[in-house]
Amino acid sequence: MKIVIPDDYQDMVDRLSCFGLLAEHDVTRYREPAADFEQLVGRLHPAEVIVAIRERVDFSRALIERLPNLKLIALVGRASTTIDYQACKDHGVLVSIGVSNAPTAPAELTVALIVASRRNIALEAERMRRGDWPCTLSHRLAGSTLGIFGLGAIGSIVAKAGAGMGMNILAWGQDTSAAKARAVGYDFAASKADLFERADVLSLHVRLRPDTRGIVGPEDLARMKPTALLVNTSRAELIQPGALLAGLRAGRPGYAAVDVYEQEPITGGDHPYLSMPNVLCTPHLGWAEWDNFELYFRECFEQVVAYARGAPMRLAH
Q: Tell me if domain 2-101+289-309 and domain 104-281 are identical in fold.
A: yes
Angle at which helices 121-129 and 104-118 cross, to 10°: 60
Gyration radius from the chain CA atoms: 21
Q: Check residue 218 and give its pLDDT.
A: 98
Q: Check residue 243 and give its pLDDT.
A: 98
**What CATH code would you report for 2-101+289-309?**
3.40.50.720
Tell me the catalytic residues: 235, 264, 284
Q: Check residue 135 and give its pLDDT.
A: 84
pLDDT per residue, tens digit, the chain (317 aa), is 999 999 999 999 999 999 999 999 999 999 999 999 999 999 999 999 999 998 999 999 999 999 999 999 999 998 888 999 999 999 999 999 999 989 999 999 999 999 999 999 999 999 999 999 978 999 999 999 999 999 999 999 999 999 999 999 999 999 999 999 999 999 999 999 999 999 999 999 999 999 999 999 999 999 999 999 999 999 999 999 999 999 999 999 999 999 999 999 998 998 999 999 999 999 999 999 999 999 999 999 999 999 999 999 999 96
SS3 252: coil
Q: Check residue 155 and give its pLDDT.
A: 98
Q: Domain residue spans in the chain?
A: 2-101+289-309, 104-281
The total of other beta-carbon atoms located within 10 Å of residue 288's CB is 17
Cβ(294)–Cβ(17) under 8 Å?
A: yes
d(CA 315, CA 88): 12
3-state secondary structure 27-90: EEECCCCCCCHHHHHHHHCCCCEEEEECCCCCECHHHHCCCCCCCEEEEECCCCCCECHHHHHH
Please give the CATH architecture assigned to the domain spanning 104-281: 3-Layer(aba) Sandwich (3.40)
SS3 314: coil
Neighbouring residues of 167: CB distance < 8 A, sequence distance ≥ 6: 141, 142, 143, 144, 145, 146, 201
Q: Check residue 59 and give its pLDDT.
A: 97
